[in-house]
Structure 1
Amino acid sequence: MTCRILLYCDDGSTLKVGEELAWELGAQLHEIEASTPEEGMWSRMKTGLFALLSRNLTIDVPDQPWDRSDLLILGAPIWQGRSARPLRQWLESQPALPERVAFLLTSDDSGYPAEAVEDLTALTGHKPVAVLHLGRGDLTSGAWKGPVEHFLDQCVVRYRQTA
């Protein structure tokens, strides 16, 4: 199974989980780079405001044959109930995607991010084969290994059923 992971990360949490997934799946991990004018809280607030106002950011996405993967895992933190603007902005450009996508979402909240999942489903045009959401509590306590195993099982089992 050819798997790629594309994620945007602003504080390292999403990247940490993405690296674990890449290791377990033997996947290629790629990051979306978004330019921010300065570091710190003000920059994060400005980026969050851009997310609300749907203003475009300057982003850099690796040039890969995304649609040639058996599975593409898309990852981002959740801002204001939606996935981070850099990932949404890339998806709005309508890149060619594989039939099988999965979502990795991190947030400060422990509740299931239904709005973010619906948004990503609409942007990709594909129902995800798996969704992994980790709240800040899971990430700081290290209690995310179990949900990651379940997510990996969903990705692999559903692949075997469709292959």
Structure 2
Amino acid sequence: MTCRILVYCDDGATLKIGEELAWALGAQLHEIEASAGEDGVWSRMKSGLFALFSGALTVDVPDQPWDRSDLLILGAPVWQGRGARPLRQWLETRPDLPERVAFVLTSNGSQYPAEAVEDLTALTGRKPVAVLHLGRPELTSGTWKGPVEHFLDQCVVRYRQSA
């Protein structure tokens, strides 16, 4: 099974999960780069608000044959109930995607981000084979390994069933 992982990360958490998944699946990990502001909390808040309510950001996504993978895992933090704007903006360009996608979402809370999953499902035009949501409590306490293993099982088992 060929797998690529594409993440946007603003604080390191989503990238850390992406690295764990890439290692476990033998997948290629790619990052979305978005226009960077100044460092600091205020700058991040300003950038997040701009990304939610303003026009387009400058987004750089590696040029890859995304649709030639058996599985594409898309990862991003949740901002105001939706996937982060850089990932959504790239998906709005309607890139060629494989039939099988999965989502990895991180957030400050522990509540499942149903709106973000629905939004990404609509943007990709595909029902995800698996969704992993990790909240700040799981990330800081280190209790995220179990959910990651379950997510990996869903990705691999559903691949075997469809192959």
Task: Write the mapping of 1:73-88 to structure 2, written as runs, cut at 5 A.
Answer: 73-88=73-88
Q: Which moved more, 1:115-124 or 1:37-46?
A: 37-46
Distance across 2 between alignment mates of 1:156 and 1:66? 18
Distance across 2 between alignment mates of 1:43 and 1:34? 14
What's the offset of the Cα at 1:37?
2.5
Which stretches of structure 1, 4 residues or more, deviate above 4 A after TM superposition?
A: none
Q: 1:72 maps to what in 2?
A: 72
Q: 2:135 maps to what in 1?
A: 135
Q: 2:39 maps to what in 1?
A: 39
Asked if 1:51 corresponds to 2:75, the answer is no
CA RMSD, aligned part only? 0.8
What's the offset of the Cα at 1:54?
4.5
TM value normalised by structure 1: 0.98
Q: 1:20 maps to what in 2?
A: 20
Distance across 1 between alignment mates of 2:43 and 2:68? 35
* Aligned-partner residue type, residue 124 of structure 1: T
Contact 1:34 1:58 in 2 (8 A): yes
> Number of matched residues?
163
Write out per-residue CA displacement over residues 39-82 of structure 1, whole angstroms, 9 at most, x where no aligned residue: 11122112211232142111110000000000000000000000
SS of equivalent to 1:153: helix
TM value normalised by structure 2: 0.98
Q: 2:149 maps to what in 1?
A: 149
* Aligned-partner residue type, residue 74 of structure 2: L
What's the offset of the Cα at 1:38?
1.2
Contact 1:51 1:85 in 2 (8 A): yes
Distance across 2 between alignment mates of 1:22 and 1:55? 32
Distance across 2 between alignment mates of 1:11 and 1:129? 26
Using the aligned pairs only, state the percent identity: 83
Distance across 2 between alignment mates of 1:41 and 1:78? 17
What's the offset of the Cα at 1:131?
0.1
SS of equivalent to 1:43: helix
Contact 2:102 2:131 in 1 (8 A): yes
